[in-house]
A and B are shown apart, each in its own frame.
Chain A
Amino acid sequence: MKGTNLGEFEELVLLTIAAFNEKAYGVLIKHQIEERTGRKVSMGAMYSALSRLEEKDFISSFWGEATRERGGKRKKFFKVEASGRAALIEAKKIRDDLWTLSGDLLLSPNISK
């Protein structure tokens, strides 16, 4: 069902935007994810994710003021929309449910076998 699904990377991006609400923009998101996951994020992949999220109306964007630090280039900021928030909650709920189901088993030491 297109429009409600969240990919793993999309989820990360969406969460990061949520964390830095209205202050999140390309470079910041990239750095945050790289820092937290320790993996390389390609700009292309990230922009793809962002544009998909925007297409699904999970996020919206707005232009910041032109500032000197970027040579007069404006930043494009993102914020999470209601449907994005719903999607995140939905995703978390699904996981929580599954965690509850598998919780005891996962935490027992035999599982590694």
Chain B
Amino acid sequence: MSDCHPPAWITTILRKFCDPNFFEDVHGDLGELYNEDYVRKGKNAADFNYLLRVMDVALRFKKSNKSKRINNWAMFKSNLLFSFRYLVKQKFFTLVNVTSLVLGLTIVALVTLYVRHELSYDKHHHDSQNTYRLVSKRGENWFAFLSIPYSNHLVKNRYPEVVRMARFRRTPGRYVHFEDQVFPEDNILITDSKTEFFEVFKHDFLEGSAESALAGPNTVVITESTAQKYFGAETALGKLIQVDSILVKVDGVIKDVPSNSHIGFDLLVGHSGWVQPTSAATYLVLNEKAQIEDIKNRILTATIDELTPPYKISDLDFQNLPDIHLTSNLTFELLPPGNLNYVLMVAAIAGLVLIITIFNYVNLSIALNNNRRREIGTRRVLGANGQTITGQFMIEATILVLISFLAAILLTRILMPSFALSMGLNMDHDFLFSTTSLLWLAVIGLVTVMTAGFYPAMRMSKGNALNFLRKKKAISAVRFGIRKGLVLAQFVMLISLLAATLILDEQLGFMMTGNSGFKTEGILKVGEAWKLGPDRFQTLKTELLKHPGVITVADGYAPADAIYPLPYQLLGRETVYEDAIIFGVDHDYFQALSIKGRGEYFQEEEHPRVSLLVNQTMMDKLALQDHSQQTIVTSPGQPRERQREIRGVFDDFNYFSMHQEIPPMILIARETRGYVTSILIKIKMEEAQDIIASLEDTWINLDPMGPINHRFLDDDLQKLYEKESQLAAMGTNLSIVALALASIGLIGLTTFMLSVRIKEIGVRKVLGAKVSTLFWLLIHGFVSIIGIATLIASGLTWFLMESWLNNFAYRIEINPVLFLFAGLLTLIIAIVVISYRTIKAATANPVQALRYE
């Protein structure tokens, strides 16, 4: 019968609540009855009966409370009063402590919100867990879209596992007309009419309904703020607006798309004809039994109509909807993707800050409690037991944390918009005040109270009460060791943070201003220039060049414009490579970007109709010394195959970010092209404003197909390093906070140290010690702590940052002087902070110190 013990937790109830003298009497009997029940009625019934009996017995034979029959409420009240009095009396330290807690909690709150926001992407849809995005591989590249024949195939042949399907594509910026008003819009998605879009993605409808929306052809669903913009307070439903050239009827108004969705839009157009898309973002909701591998193979092997080579995909993948934001980084993502590593990194730093905060609290309160030993000793001698004392410290911690917590929430609320901006989030305001967020923060606050209050409370409630009353007994070295350890840990974190931020900044600076191979300053970029078309582009060019501040106007892809590699081959060789960036430019392109080159193209004034140029990387890749007499075949074996002789070699420049190696490039230069991609305008920066104004005017007058989209090229390039910039900003802010926290910690430690050594200082002074000697005596300990911390931090940071830097194809080398600098900076700040109290102690009249009481 050894295998049927009654559930331990019920026995625990009995032990906890039952009179201990009686426990053994019943325990055995109840166990025997349990066994009988177990054999006769089975485990569940036995458990149940056991529980009933335990309750029955425990209720009748309650633990008697005679020993603790103190008036708890009165005790609590007096504790509360004591705590308040104490906190008010120690204004300075209370302030320091609250500041430290507020800073720490605010950081943690902000980061918690950030992390939660990043992790919450697309979890709110109808069946997120079973919703997948289909992404495809063409050539060597993965795209966030599925090419249209496959997408059509899935619509026509609904697989049995597919519960719902939605697809859409992005359109570039368009003009939207309502009555006589025109609104430029760049956030438009187009989906099929009669779509299941709103059954896949959940949106709250303010007008219309998810069931009826986009049912007919030429309909549109707009967001609340768009409706507000177009129609003011009027009803939007049923109104007719014109998107580009299509007249559409407003079929519904939804709440603005939440910031934690990777599919953001202002207008969702339902259109029967798809206006010749090449690919579409395609989403499937699968049922529980679906085998992804199986579906994938069926799609890849299906016979699909109209499958010409540019549409043919080589591979297919299913991405789970909630994972897309943090794990997917393909060509043409809808939103700049998040980075899970950075999220984790930021979370880890916030964790460190919280730990520093708690260390600080513990440090400061131990330091202060040293002055309260007599109070506590008296209370204990007068009969306060451990629980009462612990209670008092816990109440103090709770009061402080509560005040700090409220202040932190307020501060968080104030700081959130700028924080969100610096992290590139558009976090909704109500995100902070959502129940889950507040709950999370409450848990963090509770943990802080528990850990921060626990250690001081434990120390003061244990031990011989008489020792508390004796003349100050030096605090044992072990405890001082713990505190020094805490301070060391703080400095290691601080110096690591500082050094890491410095390295981050240096790499960022290197990427943004480093040798990219072309000049980015003073270049105005007009994207989506196809809206203008080649003829009107020539008019624009002529108009702009009339302005004395305009140096060059060129056409071609601007660095960082999204583009994917194409196949090519050197004539006479077998190998077909698929990694070249190939695009057309006009003759002014090289001048606009200040790119130099060699070969006949760069020497002669007159050019043939078409010139093929390659970069140095391409020459190296093909192992060519001399480009003359060499011919390149682009898109070999495809309808667009062309053979052209190389007419020049231009110097390498970073088309993509410094994360990537410079790709092999082929540029096709023509006098005028049949197609315009981006316009690059090199200008004199002094006249930028004037030029931009005339550019905008000229653009409007040319009556293009959509609103102008212009910005400076260097702003555009900085976007490539957005995540790094955000991290650098975060690093800087956290370093400042960590510095502040560490300073607070130092104040605590100095105060403590001085309170222990005040007599010693007095005696030394009386015996003739100089102020400078005393000062050194008091601070040399910190100097060595910071020295050790610098060493540890250097190793740690070097290791971490080295692995971070390896993400970049072009990176800086870590300069060891950086660590020295971070250490020195910390040391100087530390000395300044310590000096305030130390100098006061060192210059004080020794009589003050030596006088008894």
Residues in A lying within 8 Å of B, measured CB to CB: 25-27, 30, 42-45, 47-48, 51, 69-71, 73-76
- A69 to B689 Cα, complex, angstroms: 97
B-side residues, CB < 8 A to A, are 1-2, 5, 22, 24-33, 53, 56-57, 59-61
Known: A71-B2, A71-B5, A73-B27. Is A44-B32 also a contact (CB below 8 A)?
A: no
Given contacts A27-B32, A27-B33, A70-B28, contact A44 B2 (CB under 8 A): no
CA distance A10 to B634 in the complex (A): 106
Inter-chain contact B30/A43, CB cutoff 8 Å: yes
Known contacts A42-B56, A43-B53, A47-B57; decide if A26 and B2 are in contact (CB<8 Å): no
Shortest CB-to-CB span from B6 to chain A, Å, is 10
Question: Contact: A44 with B29, CB < 8 Å?
Answer: no
CB contacts (< 8 Å) of A74 on chain B: these are 24, 28
- Bound Cα distance from A75 to B30, whole angstroms: 11
Q: Give complex CA distance A75, B167 in Å.
A: 75
- When the two chains form their complex, are residues B24 and A48 in contact, meaning their CB atoms are under 8 A apart? no
How many Å lie between the Cα of A76 and that of B32 in the bound state? 13
Choose among B25, B26, B53 the residue with the greatest number of A CB atoms under 10 Å from its CB.
B25
Q: Which residues of chain B are near A71, meaning CB under 8 Å?
A: 2, 5, 31
Considering the chains assembled together, what is the distance between the CA atoms of A76 and B57 in angstroms?
Answer: 16
A44 & B57 in contact (Cβ 8 Å cutoff): yes
Name the residue on A nearest B26 (C-beta).
A47
In whole Å, how far is A17's beta carbon from the nearest beta carbon of chain B? 14
Within the complex, what minimum Cβ distance (angstroms) separates A77 from chain B? 11
Given the known interface contacts A71-B2, A71-B5, the answer about A43 and B57 at a Cβ–Cβ threshold of 8 Å is: yes
Are the CB atoms of A26 and B31 closer together than 8 Å? no
Measured CB to CB, the nearest residue on chain A to B25 is: A76
Residue of B nearest to A72 (CB): B28
CB distance from B32 to the nearest CB of A (A): 5
Cβ–Cβ < 8 Å partners of B33 in chain A:
27, 30, 43
A residues in contact with B22, CB < 8 Å: 47, 51
- Report Cα–Cα, A23/B443, bound state, in Å: 56
B29: which of A26, A42, A69 is its contact (CB, 8 Å)? A26
User: Which of B25, B28, B31, B53 is packed against the most chain A CB atoms within 10 Å?
Assistant: B28
The docked-state distance in angstroms from the alpha carbon of A110 to that of B27 is 51
Known: A27-B33, A71-B2, A71-B5. A44 touches B28 (CB 8 A): no
Question: How far does the alpha carbon of A35 sit from the alpha carbon of B26 in the complex, in Å?
Answer: 21
Q: Which residues of B contact A76 (CB under 8 A)?
A: 24-25, 28-29
Contact between chains at B28 and A73 (CB < 8 Å): yes
23 A–B pairs (Cβ distance < 8 Å), ordered by A: A25-B29, A26-B29, A27-B29, A42-B56, A43-B30, A43-B33, A43-B53, A44-B56, A44-B59, A44-B60, A44-B61, A45-B56, A47-B25, A47-B57, A48-B60, A51-B22, A70-B28, A71-B5, A71-B31, A73-B24, A74-B24, A76-B24, A76-B28
Contact A75 B28 (CB under 8 A): yes
Q: With A and B bound together, what is the CA distance between A104 and B462 in angstroms? A: 77
Residues of A within 8 A of B26 (CB): 26, 43, 47
A68 to B791, CA, bound (A): 63
Closest residue to B55 on the A side, CB-wise? A44
Q: Least Cβ distance of B262 to chain A in Å?
A: 60
- A43 with B31: in contact, given A71-B2, A71-B5, A74-B24 (CB under 8 Å)? no
**A47 cross-chain contacts in B, Cβ below 8 A:** 22, 25-26, 57, 60-61
CA distance A36 to B57 in the complex (A): 23
Contact status A73-B31, CB under 8 Å: yes
Chain B nearest CB from A86 CB (Å) reads 25
Q: How many whole Å from A18's CB to the nearest CB in chain B?
A: 20
- In the assembled complex, the Cα of A27 lies from the Cα of B27 at a distance in Å of 11
In the assembled complex, which residues on chain B have CB atoms less than 8 Å from the CB atom of A51? 22
In the bound assembly, the distance between CA atoms of A26 and B56 in angstroms comes to 15
| Set of chain B residues within 8 Å of A25, measured between Cβ atoms | 29
Contact status A70-B25, CB under 8 Å:
no
A42, A44, A75, most chain B CB atoms within 10 A? A44
Closest beta carbon of chain B to A79's beta carbon, Å: 15
Closest Cβ of chain A: how far from B57's Cβ, in Å? 5
CA distance A43 to B53 in the complex (A): 6
Instruction: Quote the shortest CB–CB distance from A61 to chain B (angstroms).
Output: 8
Q: How far is the CA of A69 from the CA of B4 in the complex (A)?
A: 12
Q: Is the CB of A43 within 8 A of B29?
A: yes
Question: Which residues of chain A are near B30, meaning CB under 8 Å?
Answer: 43
How many angstroms between the C-alpha atoms of A27 and B35 in the bound complex?
Answer: 12
User: Given the complex of chains A and B, what is the CA–CA distance between A43 and B29 in angstroms?
Assistant: 9
Give, as a whole number of angstroms, the nearest-CB distance from A44 to chain B: 4
Cα A48 to Cα B25 in complex, Å, equals 12
Residue among A42, A43, A51, A70 facing the most chain B CB atoms (10 A cut-off): A43
In whole angstroms, how far apart are the Cα atoms of A44 and B5 in the complex? 21
Bound-state CA distance A73–B57 (Å) is 18
Contacts of B5 in A (CB 8 A): 71
For B30, the closest partner residue in chain A by CB is A43
Find out whether the CB atom of A44 lies under 8 angstroms from the CB atom of B53.
Answer: yes
CA distance A75 to B28 in the complex (A): 7
What is the distance, in angstroms, from B816's C-beta to the closest C-beta of chain A? 67
In the bound complex, CA of A69 to CA of B29 (Å): 12
A42, A44, A45, A70: the one contacting B31 at CB < 8 Å is A70
The distance from the CB of A54 to the nearest CB of chain B, in whole angstroms, is: 10
A43 to B61, CA, bound (A): 11
Smallest CB gap from B6: residue in A? A71
Which chain B residues lie closer than 8 Å to A69 at the CB level?
1
B444 to chain A, nearest CB (A): 44
Residues in A with CB closer than 8 Å to B31 are: 70-71, 73
- A71 nearest in chain B by CB position: B31
A contact residues around B27 at 8 Å (CB): 73
Whole-angstrom CA separation of A30 from B36 in the bound complex: 13
* Leading 5 A-B pairs by shortest Cβ distance: A73-B28, A26-B29, A44-B56, A44-B60, A43-B53
Chain B nearest Cβ from A55, distance in angstroms: 13
Give Cα A44–Cα B60 distance, bound, in whole angstroms: 6
Known: A26-B25, A45-B56, A47-B22. 5 other contacts (CB 8 A): A26-B28, A48-B60, A51-B22, A70-B28, A70-B32
Quick one: which of A26, A30, A51, A74 has the most chain B CB within 10 A?
A26
Q: Whose C-beta in chain A lies nearest to the C-beta of B27?
A: A73
Chain A residue contacts of B25, Cβ below 8 A:
26, 47, 76
A27 to B26, CA, bound (A): 10
* Inter-chain contacts of A26 with B (CB < 8 A): 25-26, 28-29
B32 surroundings in chain A (CB, below 8 A): 27, 70
- What is the distance, in angstroms, from B2's C-beta to the closest C-beta of chain A? 7
> What's the Cα separation between A27 and B53 when bound, in Å?
12
Measured CA separation A51–B19 after assembly (Å): 13
Chain A residues whose CB sits within 8 angstroms of the CB of B59 once the complex forms? 44
Q: How far is B29's CA from A30's CA once the two chains are assembled, in angstroms?
A: 10
Bound Cα distance A76, B26 (Å): 9
Question: In whole angstroms, how far apart are the Cα atoms of A44 and B2 in the complex?
Answer: 26
What's the Cα separation between A85 and B230 when bound, in Å? 100
Which residues of the partner chain B approach A70 to less than 8 Å between Cβ atoms?
Answer: 28, 31-32
Give A42 to B26 CA distance when docked, in angstroms. Answer: 12
By beta carbon, the residue of chain B nearest A64 is: B28
| Nearest residue, chain B, Cβ from A42 | B56
Cβ contacts under 8 Å, A43 to chain B:
26, 29-30, 33, 53, 56-57
Chain A proximity of B114: nearest CB distance (Å):
55
Task: Give the shortest distance, in Å, between A22 (CB) and chain B (any CB).
Answer: 17
B171, chain A: closest CB distance, angstroms? 77
In the bound complex, residues from chain A placing their C-beta under 8 Å from that of B1 are: 69
Give the residue name and chain of the B residue nearest to A67 (CB). Answer: B28
> In whole angstroms, how far apart are the Cα atoms of A43 and B770 in the complex?
81
In whole Å, how far is A67's beta carbon from the nearest beta carbon of chain B?
Answer: 10
Question: Nearest-CB distance from B144 to chain A (Å)?
Answer: 65
Q: How many angstroms from the CA of A25 to the CA of B59 in the assembled complex?
A: 21
Residues of B within 8 A of A44 (CB): 53, 56-57, 59-61
Chain B residue, CB-CB nearest to A66:
B28
The docked-state distance in angstroms from the alpha carbon of A43 to that of B31 is: 12
Question: In the complex, which residue of chain B has the Cβ closest to the Cβ of A43?
Answer: B53
Smallest beta-carbon distance A56→chain B, Å = 17
Shortest C-beta distance, B25 to chain A (Å), equals 5
